Amino acid sequence: MRSTITFILSTLLIHNVTPFSPVQQPGAVAKTNGRLQPLFMGRAAAVRAATKSKTDAKKAKTNAVFGKRIIMAVKQGGSPDPNANRLLGDIIKQAKAGNVPVDNINRAIKRATEGNAGDFSESTFEAYGFGGASFVINVLSDNPNRANADVRSTVNKRQAKIAEQGSVLFMYDRKGKVEVPAVLDEEQLLDAAIEADIDDFLLLEGDEEDTSVVYVEPTDSANMLGVVNTLGYEEAKMSLAWVTKAPVECTDDDFDKNMEIIEALEELDDVDSVEHNMSN
């Protein structure tokens, strides 16, 4: 028996393993021959799964929003031909820049021409959150009553407050927004913007890593998109946005509560986007 134990201990020591070591916790790291190796991948896998889920949801939201905008453009422009309907042509260009599949675009055009698609209209809700935060909630819906009920319920359920019309928007400016899936060089962008007769723009980091956002006057939106395209970023996308004139910094607790409200609103089918004034 003693010789068996001696053999086991010798084998463990040869393989550089400490006998009777404490149980490793999930996510712990073992050191073997000077190299760190993860023992458990459960947590990392969970993070990757959550990230993929959010990415998939964001793609689905983008596809749905552009589907509604295409239907609205066909009906307003009176033609399913993007060459004859300039509004539709611009929306399709933005949809492709946002990686909306061509099949989705064609299905939306077909729905609009078949006459079984609803009449979509845009509306804006204003709300107050926690710690001085405010929200501009952009809605695109074929059922205003449903949208109104869903937005109010979502805001009220999280102890936020729907604001009177205009009481929040006066703190925001309407801007053109060009989103780029890359880090732009400011000097390069400045030179190209001057050549395109764009007098003023604001370049910021995007919400996601290694992305950029350029804000311009609404009338310069298409021009700036063209500038970014000429710099080699064909996947840039353009939209209009409300940009705060008075950013506020919230406590971590208030920030988390406000983000919970925003995420809940963005999950609503009728909500196009939510803008806020938080700087952190």
pLDDT at residue 49 in the model:
52
Residue 42 pLDDT class (50, 70, 90 cuts): very low
pLDDT at residue 79 in the model:
92
Residue 265 reports pLDDT greater than 90: yes
pLDDT at residue 52 in the model:
53
pLDDT at residue 259 in the model:
96
Q: Which two tokens stand for residue 22?
A: 């404490």
Taking only the tens place, the pLDDT of each residue in 186-231 is: 999 999 999 999 989 999 998 888 999 999 999 999 899 999 999 9
pLDDT at residue 126 in the model:
98
Spatial separation of the C-alpha atoms in residues 257 and 116, rounded to whole Å: 40
Taking only the tens place, the pLDDT of each residue in 142-152 is: 999 999 999 99
Q: Where are the beta strands (DSSP E) in 149-234?
A: 161-162, 172-180, 202-205, 212-216
Domain ranges of the chain: 52-114, 121-276
Residue 280 pLDDT class (50, 70, 90 cuts): confident
91, 80 contact by CB (below 8 A): no
Residue 20 reports pLDDT greater than 70: no
Residue 10 pLDDT class (50, 70, 90 cuts): very low
In words, the CATH class of domain 52-114 is mainly alpha
**121-276 — its CATH code?**
3.30.70.980
For residues 161-179, give the mean pLDDT: 96
Q: What is the CA radius of gyration of the chain?
A: 26
pLDDT at residue 239 in the model:
87
> What is the chain's percent helix, strand, coil content, to nearest 5?
45, 20, 30
Residue 31 class from Cβ within 10 Å (0-12 exposed, 13-18 middle, 19+ buried)?
exposed
Residue 98 reports pLDDT greater than 70: yes
Q: Which two tokens stand for residue 74?
A: 């066909």
pLDDT at residue 93 in the model:
85
First CA to last CA distance, the chain: 65
